[in-house]
Amino acid sequence: MLPTRPSVPCSTDLSDFTNPTGTPTPASLRSHLIRSGLAGVVSTTRERSLNRYRMFVAGDPRALLGLEPERGWRLGDLLHLMARKCGVSADPAHASGQDVIDPDRTIVALGAFADRLAAVAEAGAPVLVGTGHPHRLLDFYASLAAALSAAGCPVLSPAQGRSVDITTRFGVRTYNLDYVRGVALVREPGARGCGSEPGVHTHSPLPLRLALGAAMDGDGPLPAMVIGDHGWLCGAGQLGIEAIGPADADDPAPFVGQAEGRVSVVVPLDDTVRSDYYRPLTRYVLNRACLSQ
């Protein structure tokens, strides 16, 4: 088990907009979250969130993301959980418009996220980093992977190049597992890594299972921590590996995993904004974890 690390930020100058290194303070970060749409009023519609909650309650794998809930979740219970963890409305009659994420909850969760990064860095433990949102979140994860590698953590890449069949709305498609700057993602067969083809969007836990299966078969050690989203986050937590990562207002599975004790940290935020909007979050987290390069 990774050690528990006291929450002690490296920079204590929180009076200005940023500290001398350019790292956002909590106040400036809150403003950025709202301005960028990462929190506050987000792009996710209330209709989409409620639909995903109903899918989760019905046990739809597209909403479970690899999680197997320990209890039967009713819609009302799920709404109250999402209101506590994410800041959405708990009123089922509120059924239209844009959804909301409480920026203060995001900042608190980013602090917990940073503390777990610091703990894994202190232990020098192996990590696996993966995303189903490479178009938006690749740079965010790659910066974390680079910082952890510099701190002495092996950043794993098991099952590089192996294929995985994933059910999509177009039927079963075969993808290849790839690693870009230490971050796992899936690509169409024959696709090459370039600026216009960063990878495929997927919520499936199957790439995570492929990677872990390869690690168990000798392709590197098992990770002490998985850092990722969607199927990477929930799939790892379901298998008993510490997992931390972000989740949007319409993805209840990570928050349920956290409530049931299988996901360590979930950061509520919009996962579809411009990739450069996540950079202040990266600087904030790495500075708090004492991993700034």
Does residue 21 register a pLDDT over 70? no
Question: CA-CA distance, 133 to 48, in Å (whole number)?
Answer: 18
Nearest to 148 by CA among 289, 3, 14, 5: 289
Q: Do residues 273 and 103 make contact, with C-beta atoms less than 8 angstroms apart?
A: no
Q: From its phi and psi, is residue 128 left (phi > 0), alpha (psi between -120 and 50) or beta? A: beta
Does residue 18 register a pLDDT over 70? no
Question: CA-CA distance, 62 to 255, in Å (whole number)?
Answer: 15
Question: CA-CA distance, 229 to 46, in Å (whole number)?
Answer: 21
- Which pLDDT score is estimated for 184? 97
Question: CA-CA distance, 232 to 6, in Å (whole number)?
Answer: 26
Distances (CA, A) of 104 to 6, 16, 274: 20, 18, 21
Residue type at 110 in one-letter notation: L
* 130 — pLDDT class (breaks 50, 70, 90): very high
How many Å separate Cα 208 from the centre of its chain? 13
Angle of helix 252-259 versus helix 75-85 axis, rounded to 10: 90
- Which pLDDT score is estimated for 5? 54
What the block records as the tokens of 140 is 């965010």
Does residue 3 register a pLDDT over 80? no
What the block records as the tokens of 130 is 């993966």
pTM, two decimal places: 0.92
Instruction: List pLDDT tens digits, range 55-97.
Output: 999 999 999 999 999 999 999 999 999 999 999 999 999 999 9
Nearest to 135 by CA among 232, 230, 202, 63: 202
Does residue 13 register a pLDDT over 50? no
What is the average per-residue pLDDT within 172-199?
84
Question: CA-CA distance, 57 to 228, in Å (whole number)?
Answer: 23
* 15 — pLDDT class (breaks 50, 70, 90): very low
Instruction: List pLDDT tens digits, range 204-244.
Output: 999 999 999 999 999 989 999 999 999 999 999 999 999 99
Q: What is the DSSP string of 30-62?
A: HHHHHHHTSSEEEEEEHHHHHHHHHHHHTT-HH
- Which pLDDT score is estimated for 77? 96
